[in-house]
Amino acid sequence: MAEKTEKEIFEEYLSRANLRGTAQRGFLLDLFLKQDKHVSAEQLYDEAKKTDSTIGQATVYRILKLLVDAGLAREVDFGDGIMRYERLHGLQHHDHLICKGCSETIEVCDPIIEELQKRLAEQYGYKMLDHELYLYGLCPKCRGE
């Protein structure tokens, strides 16, 4: 059996939550999936306006929240006051390595670190549900300058 598509997941989520399918929801899901990097609500809004100039930003904010609830997106917070969203479904978990010089961001992953985090939480009796790891540094380019 093939894996569910994002569209199927989203529709299933909507109907289970007694929410409705609308043109905006379908359109913004597609547009969101086309982004290959994390996007802010404003970036997605600007992108969306190119196709549908009547869309409202509140709609973009609201639908991004739905995507998070549906398990299709996750919020990433680089601490600059802007919430960004990235695809979650079908991609492996990763953390972020951020250059303090040029803001270039790389997705990284280390299964050993993940495992150690889980154990660390358990040492305190916690059941770990989630984590966020941000590594800040200087990329090769900015190191040299």
Q: 89 is in the binding site of which of its own copies, DNA, none (Cβ under 5 to 8 A by kind)?
A: none
Tokens encoding 31: 């547009």
> Residues 92, 135: contact at Cβ < 8 Å?
no
Determine if 17 is a binding residue for its own copies (CB under 8 A). Answer: no
Is 82 a residue that touches DNA (CB under 7 A)?
yes
CB 25 within 8 Å of CB 10: yes
Task: Indicate which single residue of 77, 91, 94, 103 sits in contact with its own copies (rule: CB under 8 A).
Answer: 77
Closest CB to its own copies among residues 25, 38:
38
Residues that bind DNA (CB under 7 A): 14, 18-25, 40-42, 52, 54-59, 61-63, 65, 81-83
